[in-house]
Amino acid sequence: MPTPFEVLWQEPQLRPLAPLVLAAWRDGYLTPAELLAIRDTLERASWLSDSARQALLRWLDTDAPPTPRALRTLEREVSGWLSVLPKGQRRTLSGLAAALVSGNVADSQVQNALTLLASVGATFTAEELETRPSTVGAARQSAAGRLGEAEQKQLRVLLDGSQAATRERVRALLAEPEFRTVLGLDTASYREQVLSWLLRAIERGALAHCFPNGLSAGRDVGRFVATFETLALFDLSLVVKFGVQAGLFAGTIEALGTRAHQGLLTAALEGKLIGCFAMTERGHGSNVRGLLTRARYEPDSESFVISTPGLSAGKEWIGNAATHARTAVVFAQLETLGEDYGVHAFVVPIRRDDGTPCAGVRSEDCGHKMGLNGVDNGRLWFDDVRVPRSALLDRFGQVSPDGQYQSKIPSSGKRFFTMLGTLVGGRIAVSGGAIAASKVGLSIAIRYGLARTQFADDDGNETPIFDYLTHQRRLLPPLAAAYAYTFAQAELVKRASELDAEGVTRPDVETLAAGLKALSTWQAVATLQQCRESCGGQGYLTANRIDGLRTDTDVFTTFEGDNTVLLSLVANNLLRIMRGHLHKRPVSTVLKSLVEDVVIAVQERNPIAMRADSSESLRAFDLHTTALRFREKTLLTSLARRVARRIEDGLSPQQAFEACQDHGVALARAHIESYVLSCFQDVARDQPLLEPLCALYGLSRIEADLAWFLENDFMAPPKSRAVRDQINVLVREIAPRALDLVDAFAIPASCLGPLADPEYLKVSGLVREKA
Ligand SMILES: Cc1cc2nc3c(=O)[nH]c(=O)nc-3n(C[C@H](O)[C@H](O)[C@H](O)COP(=O)(O)OP(=O)(O)OC[C@H]3O[C@@H](n4cnc5c(N)ncnc54)[C@H](O)[C@@H]3O)c2cc1C
């Protein structure tokens, strides 16, 4: 007498239902609600004999699930039947069942079974039901089959890009014995340590290298950003101090100054003059146009008088201002002959060589911070400090000796944005620093995960934690993002190097720089939190590096522009570009383009595309591109409509935009994610090594916003479920290559800390030695 379990494969009418049972117990492919619905149908199915029904209900009883042994036996039976089917083809359960009973489908009982299965939306390949996931985990596969030297080199060449030589220079610098983290320093000593690293880097030419063609030819953005990114592999206080000196201080003198300021620039680049960038005030951070510090021109003495009118006009958070800076670039409202001309930058000495304050300048230390304590942030006040007329950085606006103001940009708004636009390099560098910090965190967490074991498998072998699906799920999408942002950043740097005819950064570069800075820094914070948790308690230990990376990058989301404010700016720019298109083009062209967009939307939303969930279609780059573009276009047109309606109702354009600000931020995010994806795809298209990683990035962006795609009928629920499943398939596929993928970052071992060192893990007992 067969047991209720054996009845399943012995009863011909039940045979087509066997895949259903396997699917029910495989990785939660079926939801509890679906299982309940199926049980309900079975209980009412008159076409089933009582014994067959009881057997099936027994198999599907969630309170008393089949034993692993019974499931293994069923798997063996089913895999024998399925082995004849073509591989890789996704089918619904009824499709699989029909294939199993081919030749016999006329049988009405089998037809009944197929109808039942057709109500289950999920789809499977024969292999997914046929075999369990490989029992050889990623860690062991990775140990067995590393990439060859040529393939490793190819990855590294792609990542280092056109600035490979600069990166190598800085890696060589970081290999010098001085560049070692010293733990437990008090704040004052840490600041001195960071200053001495900065001076050493300058001495070794790190700054001069960023000006390859002499001062008059300007800064090489590519070299500057690559230097910044590579220094960020080591100590983030050092990289921020380097950014203040090279980007904010010297960079502003170079971007806003003229020949008269070259002496200052030389001193800054040689490290003889340490400077700071004093823009933010206590009362005005994000709103730079509202700054209160004043610079009043006096024709009699041919000098400007710099003053701080009240408490909220005090300069706040200024890097290098507490101790090390001798000169500040101060942003103040320029006034001459009784007229205001808006915010301009002035070079103001704040300390003498011996460190005592210059007359009329007061400073204060901001104190201990959440991170970046190697940088001396301070406050500054100016009590009628007199500086010569040449202190004005006068590339975009000049004051004659008798006080006449002139500028080739007459509109003060346009002048302000042009001046700020030239400072875009700092924002791009911050993105690069965030991406580099993420790479260090991921390199540590992935290496540790491959070595560290917890819990034993069925054979008694302890499992490397990286072999757990959840571990791969939390580290590999961020790894894909780190690759994606690297390529997006390289493209942005390339565009930033191409200035317009006036030598000014192009508006699209400003938009991308703002948006990429926001998304890459948020991504870094999220990634480093995952890295911290992935290393368990060890991730919390300062000596193991992730602590510093996590706390130091936190403020990257705020300085060089608060992320939310930056995304509002991106959205505003996108609306402006759209309005510009509408004005410039004849109505018929605009309408045609809108119709084309709608056609794309309708094509994508046809019921077949919405449900297409084969592995190939889900991995196809085109699907990811279309999804992200569809989201961006939908958000842009709906935002434009909403803002226009509010303006019609009597709100000012600014009020109307602010009333839809959350929508604008969603649009900005969608725009930047589309850009990042296209940059990654451009590189990965011809690179089999990167194809799965790029597909993972695309799909994980869709997964992160599944609710929106479902809400907007871009996909049907079975497809959204298939997206999740496909990400699991992809992380399993990529996991054995994870070590190669982080090795390609070429991070010096001294920057990775002990958790990435297999020898340390063994001698410290964090990894059990093999018996
Ligand atoms: C460690 C550190 C170093 C720094 N170094 C320098 C430096 O060297 N030189 C320098 O000049 N500055 C520096 N800054 C200042 C930094 O640039 C500012 O902190 C930043 O611009 C934000 O200004 P805020 O702090 O006044 O915040 P606020 O502008 O007051 O913003 C506070 C919050 O309000 C939100 N918010 C503001 N405006 C809007 C809006 N329109 N719509 C919606 N939300 C809004 C923001 O999203 C944010 O969450 C530094 C700051 C820090 C913390």
What band does 71 get if pLDDT is binned at 50, 70 and 90?
A: confident
pLDDT in tens, 350-384: 999 999 999 999 999 999 999 999 999 999 999 99
For 402-453, write each residue's pLDDT tens digit.
Answer: 999 999 998 989 999 888 887 788 999 999 999 999 999 999 999 999 999 9
Which numbered atom of ligand 1 lies nearest the CA of 658?
A: 42
159 token code pair: 């990542």
Residue 377 beta carbon below 6 angstroms from any ligand 1 atom: yes
φ/ψ region of 335 (left if φ > 0, alpha if ψ in -120 to 50, else beta) reads beta
Asked if pLDDT for residue 131 goes beyond 50, the answer is: no
Q: Which atom of ligand 1 is nearest to the CA of 371?
A: 1
Rounded distance from Cα 559 to ligand 1 centre (Å): 6
Average pLDDT over residues 58-77: 76
pLDDT computed for residue 119 by the predictor: 59
The pLDDT value recorded for residue 707 is: 96
At 716, give phi and psi (nearest 5°). -95, 160
CA of 287 to the centre of ligand 1 (A): 9
318 close to ligand 1 (CB < 6 Angstrom): yes
Give me the amino acid identity at 25.
Answer: W
Instruction: Return the ligand 1 atom nearest residue 288 CA.
Output: 21
Point out the ligand 1 atom lying closest to the alpha carbon of residue 286.
Answer: 29
Mean of the pLDDT values across residues 135-159?
A: 78
C-beta 555 within 6 A of ligand 1: yes
Rounded distance between C-alpha atoms, residue 93 and residue 88, angstroms: 14
CA distance 629 to 636: 10
Q: Is 345 in the pocket of ligand 1 (CB under 6 A)?
A: no
β-pair type (294-298, 327-336): parallel
Counting from 1 in the atom list of ligand 1, the atom nearest the Cα of 279 is 11
**Closest-lying ligand 1 atom to the alpha carbon of residue 277:** 9
383-386 long-range contacts, Cβ below 8 Å, gap at least 24? Answer: 383/307, 383/308, 384/305, 384/306, 384/307, 384/360, 385/305, 385/306, 385/307, 385/348, 385/358, 385/359, 385/360, 385/361, 386/301, 386/303, 386/304, 386/305, 386/306, 386/360
Residue nearest to atom 36 of ligand 1 (CA): 565
Is 380 close to ligand 1, i.e. is its CB under 6 Å away? no
Report the separation in Å between the CA atom of 316 and the middle of ligand 1, taken as the mean of its atom positions.
Answer: 10
Looking at residue 129, its pLDDT comes to 57
- Return the structure tokens found at 190: 């840490």
Q: What gap in Å lies between CA 435 and CA 365, rounded to an integer? A: 29
Q: 343 C-alpha to center of ligand 1: Å?
A: 17
Question: Candidates 280, 320, 560, 563: which one to mutate for ligand 1, based on the most atoms within 8 Å of Cβ?
Answer: 280
3-state secondary structure at position 634: helix
Average pLDDT, the chain: 87
State in Å: Cα 413 to ligand 1 middle.
21
Residue range 226-254: mean pLDDT, rounded: 96
Q: Name which residue sits closest to atom 24 of ligand 1, judged by CA.
A: 285
Q: Give yes or no for residue 288 CB within 6 A of ligand 1.
A: no
- 3-state class of 385 per DSSP? strand
Residue 249 CB–ligand 1 contact under 6 Å: no
Q: Does the CB atom of residue 319 touch ligand 1 within 6 A?
A: yes
Q: What is the spatial distance between Cα 163 and Cα 157, in angstroms, rounded to a whole number?
A: 10
| Span 746-763, average pLDDT | 92
CA atoms within 13 A on the CB side of 692: 17
Q: Whose CA is nearest to atom 12 of ligand 1?
A: 280
| Rg, the chain, Cα only | 31
> What are the tens digits of pLDDT across the range 512-544?
999 999 999 999 999 999 999 999 999 999 999
Q: Please enumerate, as own/partner, the contacts of 593-598 that have beta carbons within 8 Å and a separation of 24 or more.
A: 594/637, 597/633, 597/637
Quickly count: other Cβ atoms within 10 Å of residue 512's Cβ: 27
Q: What is the phi/psi pair of residue 535, to 5°?
A: -95, 10
The percent of residues above 90 in pLDDT, for the chain, comes to: 64
377 Cα: distance to centroid of ligand 1 (angstroms): 14
Mean pLDDT of 214-225: 80
Return the pLDDT at 106. Answer: 46
- The Cα–Cα gap between 604 and 69 comes to 44
pLDDT tens, residue by residue, 559-610: 999 999 999 999 999 998 887 766 655 555 555 555 556 556 556 666 666 6
**Residue 76 confidence class, pLDDT cut points 50, 70, 90:** confident
Q: Is the CB of 317 under 6 A from ligand 1?
A: yes
- Whether 435 is in the pocket of ligand 1, judged by its Cβ within 6 Å, is no
- With bands split at pLDDT 50, 70 and 90, how would you rate the model's confidence at 105? very low
State if residue 463 touches ligand 1 by the CB under 6 angstroms criterion: no
> Does ligand 1 have an atom closer than 6 angstroms to the CB of 267?
no
Measured between its terminal Cα atoms, the distance across the chain in Å is 48
pLDDT at position 72 is 73
Nearest to 256 by CA among 129, 165, 391: 391
Give the residue from 484, 489, 371, 370 showing the smallest Cα distance to 430: 489
For ligand 1, whether the C-beta of 244 sits within 6 Å is yes
Question: 558 CA distance to ligand 1 centroid (A)?
Answer: 6
Which of 423, 558, 663 maximizes ligand 1 atoms within 8 Å of its Cβ, making it the mutation to test the pocket? 558
In the prediction, which pLDDT does 43 show? Answer: 81
Q: Is 558 in the pocket of ligand 1 (CB under 6 A)?
A: yes
For residues 481-491, give the mean pLDDT.
98
Residue range 120-134: mean pLDDT, rounded: 55
Is pLDDT above 80 for 132? no
Q: Whose CA is nearest to atom 48 of ligand 1?
A: 562
DSSP structural state of residue 555? G
- pTM check: above 0.95: no
Nearest CA to ligand 1 atom 47: 564
Q: What are the pLDDT digits (tens) for 685-706? A: 989 889 999 999 999 999 999 9
Work out the average pLDDT over 74-89: 69
Pocket flag, ligand 1, residue 565 (CB < 6 Å)? yes
Q: Please work out whether the CB of residue 297 comes within 6 Å of at least one atom of ligand 1.
A: no
- Burial degree of 394 (CB within 10 A; 0-12, 13-18, 19+): buried
Among protein residues, the one with the nearest Cα to ligand 1's atom 27 is: 285
Counting residues of the chain whose pLDDT is more than 70, the rounded percentage is 83
Please write the tens of the pLDDT for every residue from 6-19: 777 677 777 777 77
Judged by average pLDDT, the poorest of 36-45, 138-147, 365-374, 760-769 is 138-147
CA 280 / ligand 1 centre spacing (Å): 8
Of 562, 566, 569, the one to substitute when testing ligand 1's pocket (max ligand atoms within 8 A of C-beta) is 562
Q: Find out whether the beta carbon of 659 lies less than 6 Å from any atom of ligand 1.
A: no
Is there a contact between 567 and 669 (Cβ–Cβ < 8 Å)?
yes
Q: Which atom of ligand 1 is nearest to the CA of 287?
A: 29
**Which pLDDT tens digit goes with each residue over 273-321?**
999 999 999 999 999 999 999 999 999 999 999 999 999 999 999 999 9
Query: What is the predicted pLDDT for the residue at 157?
Result: 95
| Ligand 1: centre distance to CA 568 (Å) | 14
Taking 80 as the threshold, does the pLDDT of residue 128 lie above it?
no
CB contact at 8 A, 430 and 521: yes
Q: Hey, whose CA ends up nearest to atom 4 of ligand 1? A: 317
Q: Give the residue whose CA is nearest to atom 16 of ligand 1.
A: 559
Q: Are 271 and 202 in contact (CB under 8 A)?
A: yes
* 3-state SS class at 307: strand
- What are the φ/ψ torsions at residue 381 (nearest 5 degrees)? -130, 145
